[in-house]
Amino acid sequence: MTRKYFGTDGIRGTVGQPPITPDFVLRLAHAVGRVLRQTEDRPTVLIGKDTRISGYMLESALESGFNSAGVDVVLLGPLPTPGVAYLTRAQRASLGVVISASHNPFADNGIKFFSAQGSKLPDAWELAVEAALEEAPVWVDSASLGKARRLDDAAGRYIEFCKSTFAGDLTLKGMRIVVDAAHGAAYQIAPKVFHELGADVVSIGCAPDGLNINHEVGATHPDALVRAVRANHADVGIALDGDADRLQMVDGAGRLYNGDELLYLLARDRMGRDELVPGVVGTQMTNMAIELALRERGVKLVRAKVGDRYVLEELTRHGWLLGGEGSGHLLALDKHTTGDGLISALQVLQSCVRNDQTMAELLEGVQLFPQVLLNVRLQPGQDWRANTRLAQETAAVEAELGDGGRVLIRASGTEPLLRVMVEARDAAQASACAERLAQAAKG
């Protein structure tokens, strides 16, 4: 059964256009509440959000929808997505809800959910919610309506949780760190985490106004971080996205490290401490150089579909702990149940401090293959799989690359885009091949 509303990461879209309208979000919360009450008499849900101006409106709609179904609500205020996952588990809540469109611009927003265990919910649950959305609402009587309250110390609890994942015998004293929170959910939290562990912190992207989330800052615009690291003569730069589940890092020389490199670093660090790392989960986009580097260390790389939920599914299937995407969604399941930009950054810094080495030194000998990614906008109803010209061009490019590269073409799960990726040892070849495929995709 195909999902009508849920994408790869919850429900997302432009605010004011279906489905991100207050009336739909109210109906959504009511439907979710009815699904929860099938197995629990008096459920409690936590609601957190990022800093988009539309968060106020959607928060109110969610609160009303849940209360109308007999579900209690705890409002967390601005809080990173992984912070909501943590508190859902810590508070023994029935469900965690996040109002965020992650790395998208402020005009977009979305709703995503976490289970009572703080993990992403399965497709079957989302299908049950969509089925409930098709039914007429059933309002509970007045005596059974849900209540709402605010958890005033939500940020402080999450800060302490993040710090607890950093080795107690280590410190960040003597390290200057630039922290870029993308004017998003971690704007108050991220600087405090690193400061309280001893670092000298310089903050950028920590002044949200409701409209500037992810605007020319954060993990999707790391140039701002590179400039700030150089200008402040910092040792490290850390960039999060709007809901702080994504991470990019920069070293003192201004070199940017993506999620693939950081994932390899986390695996290498664990092996250096004689921890068993039988395998790591990447995605279809994970750079070939990382796969080869892991293989040299006897570690298998399994590729999941793009999306951290699919990485988590593979980790669970294999019983492994480490996985992630080049975009910076990293999972360390011995530290948290979901991807967490702050905790991932702390794991990288912990490795640097423990080994007294920079990221460049820890990654010596690992050289990423040039990878060219082009986005082609899809027209409404366009079936890219039926494009015979694209199929022929793809076959020709794959034959040209042979074992020295690969092609990946996929539709975005959150936007009307076709993503065309070509990876090859030679940058010029990768770029030329990607352009050929993009032109073919346009028809």
Q: For position 65, what pLDDT does the model report?
A: 98
Three-state SS at 13 = strand
Bigger pLDDT: 212 vs 2: 212
Same domain for 145 and 242, yes or no, is no
Asked, for residue 164, whether it belongs to a domain, the answer is no
- H/E stretch holding 327 reads none
pLDDT tens profile 304-336 = 998 888 999 999 999 999 999 999 999 999 999
Q: Which residues contact 160 (CB under 8 A, 6 or more apart)?
A: none
Same domain for 117 and 21, yes or no, is yes
Q: For position 85, what pLDDT does the model report?
A: 98
Q: How far is CA 48 from CA 83, 98, 99, 132, 150, in A?
A: 8, 5, 6, 23, 10
Q: 66: closest CA among 114, 115, 26, 111?
A: 26
Check if 119 is active-site: no
How far apart are the C-alpha atoms of 344 and 340, rounded to whole Å?
6
**Does pLDDT of 30 surpass 80?**
yes
pTM of the complete model:
0.90
Q: For position 307, what pLDDT does the model report?
A: 85
Which of 76-85, 114-123, 366-375, 410-419 has the largest mean confidence?
A: 76-85
Asked, for residue 165, whether it belongs to a domain, the answer is no
Token pair belonging to 147: 């209540």
> What residue ranges in 255-320 does DSSP mark as E strands?
256-257, 279-283, 300-304
Chain CA centroid to CA 89, Å: 19
Is the distance from CB of 146 to CB of 70 less than 8 angstroms? Answer: yes
Q: 413: closest CA among 249, 288, 302, 283?
A: 283
How far apart are the C-alpha atoms of 38 and 232, rounded to whole Å?
55
The CATH number given to whatever domain includes residue 434 is 3.30.310.50
The domain tally of the chain equals: 4
Asked, for residue 307, whether it belongs to a domain, the answer is yes
Domain residues for the domain of 282 are 258-340+350-362
> What residue ranges in 247-332 does DSSP mark as E strands?
247-251, 256-257, 279-283, 300-304, 322-324, 330-332
DSSP string across 95-160 = EEEEE--TTS-TTEEEEEEE-TTSSBPPHHHHHHHHHHHTSPP-PPPGGG---EEE-TTHHHHHHH
Asked, for residue 278, whether it belongs to a domain, the answer is yes
Same domain for 23 and 111, yes or no, is yes
Asked, for residue 6, whether it belongs to a domain, the answer is no
φ, ψ for residue 417 (rounded to 5)?
-130, 145
The CATH number given to whatever domain includes residue 242 is 3.40.120.10
Q: 199: closest CA among 230, 238, 225?
A: 238
Share of the chain above pLDDT 70, in %: 100
Asked, for residue 159, whether it belongs to a domain, the answer is no
Lowest-pLDDT choice from 82-91, 135-144, 270-279, 303-312: 303-312
pLDDT tens profile 171-185 = 999 999 999 999 999
Q: 170: closest CA among 349, 426, 386, 38?
A: 349
Asked, for residue 103, whether it belongs to a domain, the answer is yes
Same domain for 325 and 407, yes or no, is no
pLDDT tens profile 352-409 = 999 999 999 999 999 999 999 999 998 887 889 999 999 999 999 999 998 778 899 9
Q: For position 403, what pLDDT does the model report?
A: 76
Residue ending a domain, choose from 255, 275, 303: 255
Instruction: Round the average pLDDT of the chain to a whole number and report it.
Output: 95
Same domain for 283 and 199, yes or no, is no
CB atoms within 10 A of CB 91: 17
Residue 67, exposed/middle/buried by CB under 10 A (0-12, 13-18, 19+)?
buried
Predicted confidence band at 1 (pLDDT cuts at 50, 70, 90)? low
DSSP string across 36-83 = HTTT-SS-EEEEEE-S-TTHHHHHHHHHHHHHHTT-EEEEEEE--HHH
Q: For position 7, what pLDDT does the model report?
A: 86
Is the distance from CB of 337 to CB of 393 less than 8 angstroms? Answer: no
Residue ending a domain, choose from 255, 275, 300: 255
Same domain for 331 and 272, yes or no, is yes
Asked, for residue 157, whether it belongs to a domain, the answer is no
Residue ending a domain, choose from 102, 121, 152: 152
Instruction: Tell me the mean pLDDT in the region 75-85.
Output: 98
pLDDT tens profile 200-255 = 999 999 999 999 999 999 999 999 999 999 999 999 999 999 999 999 999 999 99
Same domain for 327 and 271, yes or no, is yes
Same domain for 137 and 37, yes or no, is yes
**Does pLDDT of 413 surpass 80?**
no
The residue annotated as part of the active site, out of 64, 102, 119, 351, is 102
Biggest alpha carbon distance in the chain? 70
Same domain for 141 and 28, yes or no, is yes
Same domain for 101 and 232, yes or no, is no
Same domain for 133 and 26, yes or no, is yes
Same domain for 18 and 145, yes or no, is yes
